[in-house]
Structure 1
Amino acid sequence: METANILIVDDELGILKLLDITLRKENFINIETSSTGKGTLQLVKDNDYDVILLDIMLPDISGFELCTEIRKYTNTPIIFVSARSTDFDKLTGLGIGGDDYITKPFNPLEVVARIKVILRRQKMYEAAQQQQSIKYDFGYFAFNPESATLKVDHQIVECTAKELELLHFFCKNPNRIYTTSQLYEFVWGNDVYGEEKTVTIHISKLRKKLGDDTRKPKIIVNLRGIGYKFIPPKEGLLCE
């Protein structure tokens, strides 16, 4: 049995039942559902979840607005599940703190696969944190994987779990070039098909949080037609 706590948010009863039944068949037993934004926010305040499936068109509040509110309380991975399928909607969802985006109609087993990937990556990330206490100190910003904290100019900067995973990957692999598809494979998982623009959005968000110039970046550099490279602002980047 899977012990992960999953929250499904959708105003369509049929979708809630379909996902609940499918997840239980896949041995997920700790499942809660909500059909309103207000109810969802209260659940998030009162409980700890490992994954949140979030619809956009809710009766009382937009899923985008709700995601922004949820991010004030938790960095729990959020997977948008919505009939809105434009690139603008996907970029908006990822840009405000979503970790993945699935469009309706969907194969419920794909949703399960995406959840399993996120949970597996979380376990791997937590295991890696427990095995090491390395801090990455780059002068004006420092990252501690063990405590999952990023400090820029000595101020803590809030990041989503996926942003921290991406930053951790870059910190472990400085001055190396990776294509967008490689970054998606290493950070999001290679057994699920996703949008490569997901990587682009997360890199853009990281740049802003690191204070990197988004027009002429010097830390996470884009080599046109090749890929991305993390250039540490200061050499001698590891300290105990």
Structure 2
Amino acid sequence: MKIAGRTALVTGANRGFGRHLAAELLARGATVYAGARNPDTVDLPGVTPVRLDITDPASVAAAAELAGDVTLLVNNAGSGTGADLLDADPAKVRLEMETHYFGTLEMVRAFAPRIAANGGGTVLNVLSALSWFALPDVGAYSAAKSAEWALTNALRAQLAGRGVRVAGLHVGYMDTDMTAGLDVPKSDPAEIARIAVDGIESDRYEIVADDTARRVLAGLSGGVAALYPDLP
């Protein structure tokens, strides 16, 4: 899928990785809608801000009406509550699932028919290395991203015959606000945005963007013992 001349919607585009994605798409000649819960926080010149809360079906429906010419949907909006599964506030656990799983699903259900009607295109779901590997301290996020990965696989098969390609981006830590308090190696989000858009242009179904994601992917075939060697 060539980006030049396409119309894209990026969710969570007011900051962090979403803003870098929107900038990369603009640089390659796309028309870009920038979704954010508060469109006044979108400060990237050249994009069209769109009020969008992916956890609110009415907001998603309104965005689909406004941005009905989209042929590329990037589901980037997310949450990072830091919730574990046993002791955290259950509302935080539910928020992770409402955002990453149900919010992404709501967006695809609203936009996939429009993409198909516009001649076909692509949906990119921004996943994570934690789609494949769970860290107990953020178990709610890992579980929601794993569910979003399963959603991506199912929708990919269901939409393939309708001219809508569904891709997933797997990446480890990026240097954004969400990871500001973590003392870990981090990728440059601008570079990951470039890799992601390269993957879209190459029609790749699975975009594994950094060494962390590649290591976790390689460990999947080894099962629990390979992924969690410290278990007794």
**TM-score normalised by L of structure 2:** 0.31
Q: Which has the higher contact order (CA 8 A, sep 6+)?
A: 2
**Which protein shows a greater Rg?**
1
Richer in strand (by share): 1
Richer in helix (by share): 2
